[in-house]
Amino acid sequence: MNPLHQLNVELGDRSYPIFIGKQLLDNSQLLTDYIKGSSVVIVTNTTVAPLYLNKVIQSLDSVKMRYDTVILEDGESFKTMSSVESIIDILLKNRHDRNTTLIALGGGVVGDIAGFAAAIYQRGVHFIQIPTTLLSQVDSSVGGKTGVNHPAGKNMIGAFHQPQCVIADTSTLDTLPERELSAGFAEVIKYGLIHDAEFFDWLEINIEQLMQRDYKLLSQAILTSCQTKADIVAIDEKESGLRAILNLGHTFGHAIESAMGYGNWLHGEAVATGMVMAADLSERHQWIDPSVKQRTIKLLTKTGLPVKSPVEMTINKYMDIMAIDKKVDRGIIKLVLLKKLGKAIISADYDPLLLQKTLLES
């Protein structure tokens, strides 16, 4: 089918479109129009391959495109340099030249790995994002952040590398497990909190139907989320300032993910709890009305997301891991905090004692 929505990420000669709608994988031309060069490597995982790999292959066959496939294990714990190297081994073994295109078919982990492989293979080849989870459709497939984890920290190795296009086929969400759908909503709700109070209101009204996977409402939520992210990325592609607000809840969340073992808490689950902690710390500074944290907890809870820090997380565990966050500057941890519903700031200007209270009591 033709896309219900199209929007563009405006980045000069690196601009690209995002297509949103159902059964987009059945539209061969949508994909093949964006393939540069004469060969393709599809990167996917063991969960997604049985569901959607054939559709992509049919599109490639329709234009007689040579392709190879790399099927990774599923999960954040495989987001490593060695997964990237396994892709590069295939690229070299089968003599894919600099004009090849990588296709990332899967969730955020697949997109981050395949995007990073595309960024560093022969100093950069084209790639296309086909996100198949809500989280990747609203967040990780947009904006060009790619990379892998290091045992000492999440996303510590990576590159900015923009795709040729993003194809967000909402039909792929039909097969998404409930828990992953919830995890995706953490990032959707984030856009309301940091940038768009009206969208937050809209989510409160429609959350039950959204969780029922109403196609039109879901497409609208994805569009609004991508538009907000695209607007922010267009202003600050390399995160020298504004873009950092997209990380609301992520500094706390990354610490949870890392300490609990990658994959035990889903990224979205950790971010959900992290956003409550950010709201808590903002409230302790009297920057926001207590109702904001309460509404956030209520909406996240309706979405089936955790809002309490796991008991294993001590203050020391948080501080140790947060100290190597990418937003640390000269030893000071910068945090994304709320000034009101719909407005976030990045700041080192918080009270460390209040931070300790948040870490202890969340």
**Annotated active-site positions, please?**
123, 145, 187, 229, 239, 243, 247, 250, 254, 267
Q: Which of 1, 63, 92, 315 binds a copy of itself (CB under 8 A)?
A: 92
Residues numbered 6 to 25 that lie near a copy of itself (CB under 8 A) are: none
Cα–Cα separations (whole angstroms), residue 263 to 137, 160, 184, 208:
19, 24, 15, 26
Selected range binding a copy of itself among 179-187, 210-218, 265-273, 319-327, rule: CB under 8 A: 319-327
Does residue 121 bind a copy of itself (CB under 8 A)?
A: yes
Shortest separation between residue 160's beta carbon and a copy of itself, angstroms: 6
Q: Which of 57, 88, 211, 217 binds a copy of itself (CB under 8 A)?
A: 88
> For residue 18, what are the β-bridge partners?
7, 166
Selected range binding a copy of itself among 116-124, 271-279, 302-310, 349-357, rule: CB under 8 A: 116-124
Does residue 122 bind a copy of itself (CB under 8 A)?
A: yes
Shortest separation between residue 166's beta carbon and a copy of itself, angstroms: 19
Shortest separation between residue 19's beta carbon and a copy of itself, angstroms: 26
Give per-residue burial for 189-212: e unless 16+ CB within 10 Å, then b: bbbbbbbbeebbebbeebbeebbe
Q: Which of 6, 29, 50, 150 binds a copy of itself (CB under 8 A)?
A: 150
Q: Please answer whether residues 166 and 17 qualify as being in contact, where contact means their C-beta atoms are separated by less than 8 angstroms.
A: yes
Selected range binding a copy of itself among 134-142, 246-254, 296-304, 321-329, rule: CB under 8 A: 321-329
Mark residues 160-179: x for contact with a copy of itself by CB under 8 A, - for none.
Answer: x-------------------
Shortest separation between residue 328's beta carbon and a copy of itself, angstroms: 4
Cα–Cα separations (whole angstroms), residue 60 to 24, 41, 55, 57:
14, 11, 9, 5
How far is it, in rounded angstroms, from Cα 350 to Cα 362? 17
φ/ψ of 103, rounded to 5, equals -115, 125
Does residue 64 bind a copy of itself (CB under 8 A)?
A: no
**79 or 284, CB closer to a copy of itself?**
79
Region of 127 on the Ramachandran plot (φ > 0 left; ψ -120 to 50 alpha; else beta): beta
Question: What is residue 265's DSSP assignment?
Answer: B
How far is it, in rounded angstroms, from Cα 164 to Cα 129? 8
Q: How many of the chain's residues bind a copy of itself (CB under 8 A)? A: 38
Other beta carbons less than 10 A from residue 77's beta carbon: 13
Question: What is residue 140's DSSP assignment?
Answer: I
| Residue 1 C-alpha from the chain's centroid | 25
Residues lying near a copy of itself in the complex (CB under 8 A) are found at 37-38, 81, 85, 88-89, 92-93, 95, 97-99, 119-124, 145, 147, 150, 152-153, 155-160, 238, 323-324, 326-331
